[in-house]
Amino acid sequence: MKLSPLQTIVFIVILAGIAYGAYSATIDQLPDVSGTVVGNTTVNNSTNPTIGTVYLYDDTNNSSNTSVIIRKNTKIYKEDKNGKQTSVNMSSIKNGCKIDVYTVGDPTNTIPPQVISERIVIKAKK
């Protein structure tokens, strides 16, 4: 089967699109915010969707803090030294621990900025 030059170009573009799509779908998602926990609060109101807030010192920015809102549907995991993650609750987030936060939406334009967390990973100590 012989392809015309136009068919060859279309075929290459389609293959490149498939390769890029497969790559994009399988790469690990990078966290939106990473840093060290410098404080937290807990909300005890059972009707409130927010169960607490974590104040995070952004290690990559070195000049800002972020308020991370934790809701009832936020998934919290603790990572061991082998990279395996196990599900934990908010009480596992302690001052001084390093966390990665995957957020929903954009940060607010407040000081400090606030983000709503979808998933939090407590990093293993090195």
Q: Classify 32 as helix, strand or coil.
A: coil
CA 53 to chain centre: 15
Q: What is the bridge-based pairing of β-strands 50-58 and 114-122?
A: unpaired
Q: Which two tokens stand for residue 4?
A: 């015309």
Q: Report if pTM > 0.75.
A: no
Distance CA 79, CA 85 (A): 4
Here the tokens at position 50 are 């927010």
Q: Which letter does DSSP use for residue 72 in this model?
A: T
Q: pLDDT tens, 42-55?
A: 777 677 788 889 99
Domain range list for the chain: 33-122
Report the CATH number of the 33-122 domain. Answer: 2.40.50
Q: List, for residues 3-28, the tens digit of each pLDDT value.
A: 898 989 999 999 999 888 877 766 66
